[in-house]
Chain A
Amino acid sequence: MFDNFDLMVAALGAGMWTTVWVTLTSYTIALAIGMVLVVMHVSPAFPARWAANAYTQLFRNVPLLAVLFIMYFGLPKIGIVADNWVWALLGLGMYTGAFVGETLRSGINSIPLGQAEAARSIGLTFGQSLGSVIMPQAVRAVIPPLGSLLIALVKNSALVLAIGVTELTAQSRRLIEDNASRFDLWGVIIGVTVSYLLIALVLSYLVRLVEKRTAFVR
């Protein structure tokens, strides 16, 4: 079943590495975008709220694959050119950022009203009460759903194969389609499944670790 096992492991390992760094880098971008979005969402300036809402609605309702296509195949037609991995990271980051923003917002919603009132009553400004009272609690409250977004991003990162980034799914596809004689179909399917399970397991372990480390006693 596992013909040329060492070659398969090497190919899938390379794919895993790409999947992991694409996931982690674009997740960092998504966290930054989500943080900006949520601050805009609760800010006193209504144009900022509108802009954040427009961004969120846009990326929540358009398929990720369409976003990637517009960036990688569409933008060069009007002279905006960049490498495929740049668009892969930006596309995944901007798409996931909208969901991170919504998750953080539900975190703010879960903080008791008294916290914000207490912050205001000791004279903190908007920025201070958000930065040192509300957000630290809100982020802690939504670490599990943020972790689910990270795991979802691992799977969504497979879509970047459509713009030519050879991550895990693309590697397994190459093993089967280009080298069909050398690798057994089931072997590759099992290999790629185990690889994805491994990534998800390790990442969800890390998320639980972060959750435990940042937990505090109320």
Chain B
Amino acid sequence: MSRQNESTVLFDALGPKGRQRSTVASIVSAVVILGILAYAASVLAGEGFFEQSRWVNPLDALVVETTWVPAILDTLLAFALGSVLALVLGVLVGFGRISRFGLTRWASTGYVQFFRALPLILLIWISFTIDGHFGFTTDTLGWSNEARRLTFLVLGLGIYNGAILAEILRAGVAALPPGQAMAGYAVGLRHGQVQRLIVLPQVLRNMLPAVLAQLVILLKDTSLGYVITYPELLHSANIVGRDYSNSFLQALIIAAFIYFALAYALSKLVVLAERRLRKKTAAPKAAAQLESEVAGGQAGVVI
């Protein structure tokens, strides 16, 4: 059942009576939904949720300049570094799992199974805690506090999502028609060359929607920097909320809105990537199979 007609296939082209019923259903559901929203709004208004000062104060020009903008930049910095690390690890480990060398396969599988099983918050927090417990401490590097926290956040994000990207890429290799690699060997390429020149580029392109969808999750997970007090968005929202205690909820909602805008923009890229993928691909059969799997960029993604 294709996407376009999923909403119409379950009921027939309507006759006059049916159209009437459907109109009634639409109006009733609209009234119910608007009623719920209006009730929520009236409760919120009764508690002064919409008071202008509560929204204006945390968005004061000075606060925006000293807190919100740096927070967005810090979030994006952690996201960018974490994505790069995750992609590098994902490619290395993903191809490690299908390596010809038993030891590499074994180590890569162990990596994926171990890091996929643990909550990211635990990884970030443990890596932050063991720093200094085993003779080596990042203090000796003379880093600023923020650089230390950024390092551990990026390490956690990269290592965890690297394991998940590895699985996504491995699924992409499995979905690639074997003739592609065979053709590579036939023209005399070595194993490494086949993987690097033939398999990897196609897998990266085919799996782009799923990879991007996982990066949306990575962007949202930068909020876990909160547990090690990295000054990302959520942490900064808490600080703003403490400074303007009347606007605590408002500050959190502003932060949520910024996350939404960033993640939504990124997930629009997923849709674009899917559309491009549908248009041009060297392996139409694999793409058709993937398309059904991807279903909104969800294949293999771990929330």
Contacts and interface: CB of A to CB of B under 8 A. Distances in A.
A17 B134 CA distance: 31
A61 B295 contact: no
A116 B224 CA distance: 44
B227 interface: yes
Nearest to B120: A155
B259 interface: yes
Interface residues of A, number: 72
Interface stretch (B6-14, B88-96, B102-110, B277-285): B6-14
Contact of A103 (B12, B122, B298): B298
Interface stretch (B21-29, B55-63, B64-72): B21-29
B73 interface: no
Contacts of A161: 121
Nearest to A153: B303
B257 to A, nearest CB: 8
Interface stretch (A3-11, A47-55, A83-91, A207-215): A47-55
- For the residues of A in contact with B, the DSSP-based class is helix
Contacts of A158: 119, 121-122
Interface string B240-251: 010000101100
Interface in A74-115: 74-75, 77-79, 96, 99, 102-103, 105-106, 108-113
Interface in B236-281: 237-238, 241, 246, 248-249, 252-253, 255-256, 259-260, 263-264, 267
Interface in B85-135: 114, 117-122, 125-126, 129-130, 133
Nearest to A96: B303
A75 B237 CA distance: 15
Contacts of B148: none
B149 interface: no
B118 A155 contact: yes
A70 B7 contact: no
Given A65-B234, A116-B1, A130-B10, A78 B47 contact: yes
A109 B295 contact: yes
Contact of A193 (B28, B114, B121, B129): B114
Contacts, number: 179
Contacts of A157: 119
Interface in A24-82: 41-49, 51, 57-58, 60-67, 69-70, 73-75, 77-79
Interface stretch (B138-146, B176-184, B190-198, B215-223): B215-223
Contact of A66 (B256, B264, B292, B295): B256
Q: Which 10 A-B pairs have the closest CB atoms?
A: A106-B295, A74-B249, A158-B119, A78-B47, A47-B30, A61-B263, A63-B223, A155-B119, A63-B220, A45-B25
Contact of B1 (A79, A102, A112, A159): A112
A24 B33 CA distance: 29
Contacts of B7: 41-44, 49
Interface of B: 1-3, 5-7, 9-12, 22, 25-26, 28-30, 33, 44, 47-49, 114, 117-122, 125-126, 129-130, 133, 216, 220-224, 226-227, 234, 237-238, 241, 246, 248-249, 252-253, 255-256, 259-260, 263-264, 267, 292, 295-296, 298, 302-303
A173 interface: yes
A18 interface: no
Nearest to B246: A77
Contact of A47 (B11, B26, B125, B226): B26
A111 B292 CA distance: 11
A197 B119 CA distance: 11
B122 A42 contact: no
A45 B249 contact: no
Residue from B7, B11, B114, B253 whose CB has the most chain A CB atoms within 10 Å: B11
Nearest to B7: A42
Nearest to A19: B119
A74 B119 contact: no
Contacts of B29: 43, 45, 47-48, 51
A160 to B, nearest CB: 10
B164 to A, nearest CB: 10
A48 B30 CA distance: 7
